[in-house]
Structure 1
């Protein structure tokens, strides 16, 4: 089985991390995985070059070069399946496939919500959002399978395009292997914390979506006692803006922007509390990773993902989106142990999102679309 993944670039985001995890697992099952990128950009590019059998950069100049170059790549590489993400890339890939000779099936992965919250500020952001929804309706009937990363997104897709309901399903993101999960379960967090300030961690791209500006404002409402510090890992276009906000609130000694990290597990392993202050999500990969490491978790009740993961707030606090006071109160509640979940329960919930389970379900989708009678990846037949 030869699988071609198509993405715009390899920035340090959840889509890219999931793609690397999935490709690694599929290669272990014997699949040949190849990656096509529109641009040679992103913090994860070097890692992608290690994971994939080959990485093809289609164009760094003009978008119009993308389609003919992708068509040529598909005809030359002759993949058995194509996996895409992002609506514009999905449409361009469908056009490229149609122009070529190969009639390879396209599986389109949807990693983010269709909710109105998923829009950029201003009139341009609104127009882009409305255009994307029209492009969604154009793309979804034309692909061969749609894989959503949460039940909430699956419901959105079926409402947007009822004709796609029969080939739309949810497969939760591959977070960690069973070996990694077992290692974490063998080392549960103790109820008693180490001495020193509470370590509050945020991790993600420094963009409007991730809501770190809200976390900084909420930190400005926290009392000095018990002592605390906030470590934010990630990079992105809003880094300078966030640093200015930290200085404006006088929190230079309390909040540190560490930049992109190649070892998120280490950051999460030392976290007492993990905060996901996003305005919207598709799933919330890093939220599950934090739970796996036994950290207490707080997330916004944004569309979609966190509510599913945290079982409607049973095993982690959910706060309204962009509500700085509610977020500050949730942080205080955790540090004062008014809301506390045993680390073993958090880790057991996180263990439901294993790479093996996710890959098995992906294998089902691939085998269902494979016209060969041989079940190449060992997945259960649907």
Structure 2
């Protein structure tokens, strides 16, 4: 009988799963039993880091309706205290499972990104409205909805029109104690060597339109007109060939590297001189919180909705307009000149620590806080 079940179509890695992993470590350390449930081609995420006590159950289903029935049967058999879904598809499935006879499990839905402010959905009005209708219909059939930022919560309530359910903002636990330890591991890249005198700008994330890496490349080209610098973009995605072609067109290819996925991005980030985010929209940006935790200066677009919240309106980092290469170049140059904001790192990241998030989730779930390391 698990205390907390996480339901999702899990992938081996990703920002959402990293945040969940951080919280799983806190929950299991404090005595809560955790189980993963997946479907389609889902699998356990970060298997090398997952506590041995955490099992991953595959429902063996693909369609939404079949998965809702299979999930209900699982809940009836295993009797978990809480089930938490991790994205829109699984939110709808978990809400639909709640239409079947009661199992005793509380069902909570989490929303990691904005819907109303997504450029992708804005370009497809019919699909956008269909998703909004799904949210308004199904999300209220849960015990609560967790938004990862104030911006995501505001988007759900004001843009999507979600009513009839408690929507609470809980910041994700992106900053974990193990992050600093892993940041000290070696990195085999000549640009990040200790004796390298050329400053390195780093970004990390999927190579997809949302991240707007073309703007970052154009900004970097402008920056190189002013000073020597290098750019590393860690991540994989369908835009890699186009981005490499753009780097060649801009004449910066030899100063830009796309090393692909990094199992330990913290070691790369910790050796950078500045972290850059060029996104057009986000929910809450894991890598920005991690960069703050590592003490790496941040320059970010002021996209909806996460960066401004994380950086406290520019108190903890430099905010620049979206899709503006010149403004982004100036922001990067400002930080490399040593003119970026000065602040207390602990103050900046306390809201985003894994322990803080794990406790807030337990409170919203209605589970009793542990006092002795064992479940009450």
When residues 113 and 250 of structure 1 are mapped into structure 2, their CA distance, relative to the original with a 3 A threshold, is: same
Deviation at 1:15, TM superposition (A): 1.5
2:187 is matched with which residue?
none
Count of equivalent residues: 360
Q: Which residues in structure 2 correspond to 1:96-245 (within 5 Å)?
A: 96-120=97-121, 122=123, 125-159=124-158, 160-161=160-161, 163-164=163-164, 167-177=166-176, 196-245=197-246
1:189 is matched with which residue?
none
Cα distance in 2 for partners of 1:41, 1:169 equals 27
The answer as to whether partners of 2:61 and 2:67 remain within 8 angstroms in 1 is no
The answer as to whether partners of 1:298 and 1:317 remain within 8 angstroms in 2 is yes
The answer as to whether partners of 1:140 and 1:161 remain within 8 angstroms in 2 is no
Deviation at 1:205, TM superposition (A): 1.6
Cα distance in 1 for partners of 2:207, 2:298 equals 19
When residues 120 and 242 of structure 1 are mapped into structure 2, their CA distance, relative to the original with a 3 A threshold, is: farther
When residues 241 and 52 of structure 1 are mapped into structure 2, their CA distance, relative to the original with a 3 A threshold, is: farther
1:187 is matched with which residue?
none
1:248 aligns with 2:254: no
1:308 aligns with 2:309: yes
| SS of equivalent to 2:246 | helix
The answer as to whether partners of 2:363 and 2:369 remain within 8 angstroms in 1 is no
2:340 is matched with which residue?
340
Query: 1:182-232 CA distances to partner (integer Å, 9 max, x unpaired)?
Result: 999xxxxxxxx9751111000112222122222112222223452111111
Cα distance in 2 for partners of 1:121, 1:254 equals 35
Deviation at 1:361, TM superposition (A): 1.0
The answer as to whether partners of 2:284 and 2:306 remain within 8 angstroms in 1 is yes
| SS of equivalent to 2:47 | helix
The answer as to whether partners of 1:111 and 1:149 remain within 8 angstroms in 2 is yes
TM-score, normalised relative to structure 1: 0.85
Of residues 245-254 and 303-312 in structure 1, the stretch that sits farther from structure 2 once superposed is 245-254
| SS of equivalent to 1:220 | helix
Query: 1:124-144 CA distances to partner (integer Å, 9 max, x unpaired)?
Result: x44322222221111231110
Cα distance in 1 for partners of 2:337, 2:270 equals 21
Cα distance in 1 for partners of 2:76, 2:133 equals 29
1:32 is matched with which residue?
33
When residues 24 and 155 of structure 1 are mapped into structure 2, their CA distance, relative to the original with a 3 A threshold, is: same
When residues 182 and 36 of structure 1 are mapped into structure 2, their CA distance, relative to the original with a 3 A threshold, is: closer
Q: Which residues in structure 2 correspond to 1:254-293 (within 5 Å)?
A: 254-293=255-294
Cα distance in 2 for partners of 1:318, 1:11 equals 32
Cα distance in 1 for partners of 2:296, 2:46 equals 29
TM-score, normalised relative to structure 2: 0.86
Query: 1:129-174 CA distances to partner (integer Å, 9 max, x unpaired)?
Result: 2222221111231110111111122222333446346x22211110
| SS of equivalent to 1:258 | strand
Structure 2: runs of 5 or more not aligned: 184-193
